[in-house]
Copies of this chain bind each other. A is one copy, B any other.
Amino acid sequence: MKVVVLMSGGLDSSVLAAYAKRELFCDVHGLGVNYGQRHAVELQHAAMVAAAMDIPFQVADLTSLRGLLGGSSQTDASIPVPEGHYADESMKATVVPNRNMIMLSVAAGHAIALGARAVLYAAHSGDHPIYPDCRPQFVLALAEAMALCHYEPIQLTAPFVNRSKANIARLGRDLSVPMDLTWSCYKGGEKHCGKCGTCVERREAFQLAGVPDPTVYEPA
């Protein structure tokens, strides 16, 4: 089955692409989205991960939406990236309004154009506290709409929606995902900063999973 996997260059979506290809035997087409994120470097990492796994990869350019979607630390350089734990209230500053529905809608349109039957994205259980558009009830509701958006239904699934990131790191190890090529840091510097929410979450996930962390972090 041909599917579109949203690939951000991060750990979760890289493992998801591998899972879809190697466990579900899907014909995976990767799609990255440039929504003007400060850490757009992640898309270069997505391309590297896709190339390493022999997955075709394209980028949707939505940078022009930045002005319409307003202030998030992800897209507005004047808003600082919060440091701390990924589940902290302060991480709400990183929310880009309706980002996931926009990205998933584009992915579904791309799936229709490719003749693919499904869209997969890597929301996981650690995303739920802060990001409404990563919660199971959102995925289910949008899946209903996606089943009706065209002549043939497009299936939407988030296979990791009830998995922890540590669990995903273990799966990544088991599937030989090139996790050293992935990028999580919201700051988008030369190395992972080690202090922003996603860096803290990434480091914690490898530790909890008992999987060696291949990441080079900035010295504390």
Chain A contacts to B: CB under 8 angstroms? 31, 58, 60-62, 64-65, 68-71, 95-102, 104-106, 108-114, 132-133, 135, 137-138, 141-142, 144-151, 154
CB-CB < 8 A to A146: which residues of B? 101
Contact partners of A110 in chain B: CB under 8 A = 68-69, 97
Residue pair B144, A148 in contact (C-beta under 8 Å): no
CB atoms of A64 and B65 under 8 A apart: no
In the complex, residue of chain B having the shortest beta-carbon distance to the beta carbon of A61: B64
Q: Chain B residues near A151 (CB, 8 Å)?
A: 132
- Separation of A100 and B114 alpha carbons in the complex (Å): 18
- Checking B31, B111, B114, B145 against A144 with a beta-carbon cut-off of 8 angstroms, the contacting residue is B145
How far is it, in angstroms, between the C-alpha of A202 and the C-alpha of B97 when the chains are bound? Answer: 36
CB distance from A74 to the nearest CB of B (A): 13
Question: Complex Cα distance A21/B133, Å?
Answer: 30
Q: Are B150 and A98 in contact (CB under 8 A)?
A: yes
Q: Chain B residues near A135: list those with CB within 8 A.
A: 148
Nearest neighbor of A152 in chain B, beta-carbon distance:
B132
Query: How far, in angstroms, from A205 to B101 measured CA to CA in the complex?
Result: 34
Q: Are B108 and A98 in contact (CB under 8 A)?
A: yes
Q: Could you say which residues of chain B place their CB within 8 Å of the CB of A108? A: 97-98, 101
**Chain B positions within 8 Å of A71 at CB level:** 113
Further pairs besides A70-B112, A101-B108: 13, Cβ < 8 Å: A31-B68, A58-B68, A60-B64, A69-B112, A70-B113, A95-B150, A96-B109, A97-B110, A99-B109, A101-B146, A132-B150, A141-B145, A141-B147
Within 8 Å by CB of A106, from B65, B109, B113, lies: B65
Q: Which of B106, B132, B148 contacts A137 (CB 8 A)?
A: B148
B149 close to A98 (CB less than 8 A):
yes
Shortest CB distance A152–B (Å): 9
